[in-house]
Structure 1
């Protein structure tokens, strides 16, 4: 049976790339009964029938993200603009929690550098991101600065571009690959945020090897799949102190002799990062169960 990779899901069809040919497929009805949802990025077994096909099996995944819904990626390019919309460190930390939980490497990409007149502001945001412990690239789709650095990071990987609406994901991909011509739109001046121009997840094969996915933008994420006791594992600087707290299962809020809070007080963990952790922890505790 032939195998391929789902590169797009649209209107009930799964588009399976096998070599140079892309098959428009339906999924077997048994998937719904078993609670299986094929995702972009899935490697699948399919049956070809004329011009269409049927996905018969979803092969085991190496990773899975819920939002954006995509499988088997090994790298997330988290795209955040310096302005229009303004850099949002809390949302960045939410994205980082989700990529850590999925076991996916993250690269922070700061866009629209050409719109920031004060270089010290760029340096401030860059320093915040670098201190967390992730690779950081500062880019401008207009001036093409930083583009080659991102291109080098994509080579040989299955990557996803993710971020809120209007940060310039599609513009960045257009700057990277001129032949894409992805739709873009200006920031809504009335709402002060971006407009959705990418409406579905789609994988794009890169000429130098690898795949990259543009995804719809969004402004919020939830923690439905993360337990309160797990949250600290997805903050790098907290995970490195695992086992140093006095009490097993320490949530790093009110417990005595907490190594994480001591590191915050010593300036070894950024106070803003710790504050986001506390906010996320409360969000997890307050969530309503889904039935």
Structure 2
């Protein structure tokens, strides 16, 4: 039989258009944005991040709390997953050696502590998620305290809606009174400590029921303080270089640690020491919002008022000059203006 033409009327005629090509199912399958529902996913808390692997605590409230190692799902490849994140995990969540779970979703975050490379860089680097408190650790000496760096931490905390606190270490080496006077106008809880006098109970009482991120310049004693609060933390400690006056970076990663005491528990997040802290991402209105008494007065300011000393017809400046805020008014205004100026300056 001839397939391409025949003199026999009973035989069908075919040409190349009649040949049916078998499709490639993978190449011709329509793309879809639908993703698995992951109804079997369980909740977890990211404790640390290390080169694409995430230590996650699961069954935190189920009585079988344990740590697992996870990777991120492909659909989250453009999303930053950081210490403190609450996530959804599938796969092997037994925590057995050699097993690997998979993070498939990041739950809504209550706060984000961020920094930028410098004040002109709008690209933010997320440090931790869901912290509601920040402890700024600074040394009274060795290394010398840096007011502007502390100001930057405070601005970042206020922008994120995080309550800041201040711990001054090495009180036995220098009197921190003059340094602390710069922060007199702030509603800021301050703790001071010396070599043999660390107020662990007072600091610890503030940690219960909270997630608290600890930040500070290298060499100020931050890791030493965390080791005292969390005895099994095992955070590396270092010393200050006698020539440069700078501390050595001892904490190389951000890690979340459980704080426990008789009155309850909380989470302590240790971060690597830094020497600069960019604020390119900050919304300056958040700084004013932290000064509730001054924010009310600002409603009477002209549109676009900077609230700085040279701002014309600033209602806050006028109220302080007239004594309407009492003896504390000038210190409050000075703190606000210093933080607003800090936001506008380079490190």
Match of 2:70 among 13, 18, 25: 25
- Tell me whether 1:66 sits opposite 2:114 in the alignment: yes
Change (3 A) 1:237 1:215: farther
Q: Distance in 2 between matches of 1:92 and 1:238?
A: 21
Q: Which has the higher helix share?
A: 1
- Tell me whether 1:239 sits opposite 2:239 in the alignment: no
Range with greater deviation from structure 2 (191-200 or 174-183):
174-183
The residue correspondences of 1:203-242 to structure 2 (distance < 5 A) are 203-208=256-261, 209-227=265-283, 232-233=288-289, 238-242=294-298
The offset of 1:36, in angstroms, is 1.5
Q: Which residue of 2 aligns with 1:16?
A: 56
1:189-234 superposed Cα distances (whole Å, 9 cap, x missing partner): 2221111100010000122311101100112111221245655445
- Tell me whether 1:89 sits opposite 2:89 in the alignment: no
The offset of 1:279, in angstroms, is 4.4
Change (3 A) 1:236 1:93: farther
Q: Distance in 1 between matches of 2:192 and 2:249?
A: 23
The offset of 1:74, in angstroms, is 0.9
Give 3-state SS (helix, strand or coil) of 1:97's partner: helix
The offset of 1:136, in angstroms, is 0.8
CA contact (8 A) 2:44 2:87 kept: yes
The offset of 1:24, in angstroms, is 0.5
CA contact (8 A) 1:8 1:14 kept: yes
The residue correspondences of 1:149-188 to structure 2 (distance < 5 A) are 149-188=202-241
Q: Which residue of 2 aligns with 1:122?
A: 176
The offset of 1:159, in angstroms, is 0.8
> What is the TM-score of this pair, normalised by structure 1?
0.86
CA contact (8 A) 1:237 1:269 kept: no
- Structure 1 gaps of 5+ residues are 285-291
The offset of 1:155, in angstroms, is 1.3
CA contact (8 A) 1:139 1:147 kept: no
The offset of 1:130, in angstroms, is 4.0
Range with greater deviation from structure 2 (155-164 or 219-228):
219-228
- Structure 2 gaps of 5+ residues are 1-40, 116-125, 324-329
CA contact (8 A) 2:182 2:335 kept: no
Change (3 A) 1:151 1:264: same
Change (3 A) 1:31 1:219: same
Equivalent pairs counted in the alignment come to: 276
Bigger radius of gyration among the two: 2
- Tell me whether 1:75 sits opposite 2:133 in the alignment: yes
The offset of 1:162, in angstroms, is 0.7
> What is the TM-score of this pair, normalised by structure 2?
0.73
CA contact (8 A) 2:214 2:271 kept: yes
Match of 2:312 among 252, 256, 259: 256
CA contact (8 A) 2:297 2:316 kept: yes
CA contact (8 A) 1:24 1:52 kept: yes
Q: Distance in 1 between matches of 2:108 and 2:221?
A: 33
Q: Which residue of 2 aligns with 1:288?
A: none
1:32-70 superposed Cα distances (whole Å, 9 cap, x missing partner): 2xx311111111110132621100111101111124611
CA contact (8 A) 1:232 1:251 kept: no
Give 3-state SS (helix, strand or coil) of 2:344's partner: helix
1:158-185 superposed Cα distances (whole Å, 9 cap, x missing partner): 1110111111110111222333232111
Q: Distance in 2 between matches of 1:228 and 1:215?
A: 25
Q: Distance in 2 between matches of 1:76 and 1:280?
A: 18
Q: Distance in 2 between matches of 1:178 and 1:230?
A: 36
CA contact (8 A) 2:218 2:247 kept: yes
